[in-house]
Structure 1
Amino acid sequence: MAQIYKIYINEVALIITDSQPTDIQDYQVLQVSKFNFFSFYEQARELSSPKVFLLLSKNFKSHFMKIKQSMKMIRAAGGLVSNEEKRYLFIFRNGKWDLPKGKLDSGETIKEAAVREVEEECGIQINSLGEKICNTYHIYEMNHERILKKTSWYRMYAVNQKVLIPQLEEGITDVRWLAPGDFMMIRQNTYPLIRDLLNAEF
């Protein structure tokens, strides 16, 4: 299996890897010799429709580390939460469907942050924390500074949590349990990162 790093920039996914991916069909290959990340970033952030770019290199880890070291990185954690009815928990924030997640507090472990953020954002209690699904990376800007956010995603389980309370102060206006058969609604109005995570799981 190919080792990859995938960085999301708004609607764009940049895949940095050492071998051709077999599970992705539609992408544009970038020339390693001419690749400049910040030039690429400025172009990528202006694209309004989903697009995948591939940077193929034997030194893929080095390319990723240069990007990582060039900006501030913060850690976050969240969850894909299921219940006894095999439904999954989604939040609606800033006009899009999303999965609950948030930044680590000082002195907090990643697993602790994942559970706390889900509980706070959705007004529920997590009964059990499962295995880690993956880490994702996305870049955004705050106060004119580029931030690389690394989010660790975990499977979680919540029993008999019918009452959901969106954390309004975090911009969350809706929280819902949805069956996989209803995920098309999510996929049509979410971020590429969340869409890719759901496609890998379901």
Structure 2
Amino acid sequence: MKEITEKPSSDINLRIARRVAGLRAEREMSLEALATRCNVSRSMISLIERGESSPTAVVLEKLAKGLGVTLASLFEDPREDASPLARRSEQLEWKDPQSGYLRRNVSPPHFRSPIQIVEVVFPPGASVAYEAGTRDTDIQQQIWMLEGSMEITIGGQQCSLHEGDCLAMREDQAVQYQNTTGKAARYVVVINSDF
């Protein structure tokens, strides 16, 4: 299996910090308003915005829902002058400090598009659960299993994904990802949203 290589987490935490603070400012939301909307403490959001915290995937997903964006969009700020080409060396990587899963934003950074592609390597025995929630826009995604297998539970319905399988879903239900095997799973997530 091809491994995703890790980059220093401090750079990624600073990118996330700038993006969360920028999105909150664009929406003219106070720390308190965002905390209430996404059920993350005001102090945690403040730490994240200062780049002093390594937030988990669950916390980032709550912030994304509270800000009305996808989790993948918390890593990059779209710009009009962005290149449509993403070289492998430019693709941002991030490791969830809780589960250890490693994600790589494959899509060109900063390029404005309703489609985002993310590659994930999910460690053996790892599990991540996201709460149900709604955003101001409809977000759909498809998960294409490249290697290994995963158990994905969407709104109480369990799906077993094996190499080559593809699952389509909407991001408006509780979702749990589990790798119950002794081998890392690698999959691609294609996200479609209109922001």
Instruction: Normalising by structure 2, report the TM-score.
Output: 0.23
Q: Which has the higher strand share?
A: 1
Greater relative contact order structure (CA < 8 Å, 6+ sep): 1
Instruction: Normalising by structure 1, report the TM-score.
Output: 0.23
Larger radius of gyration: 1
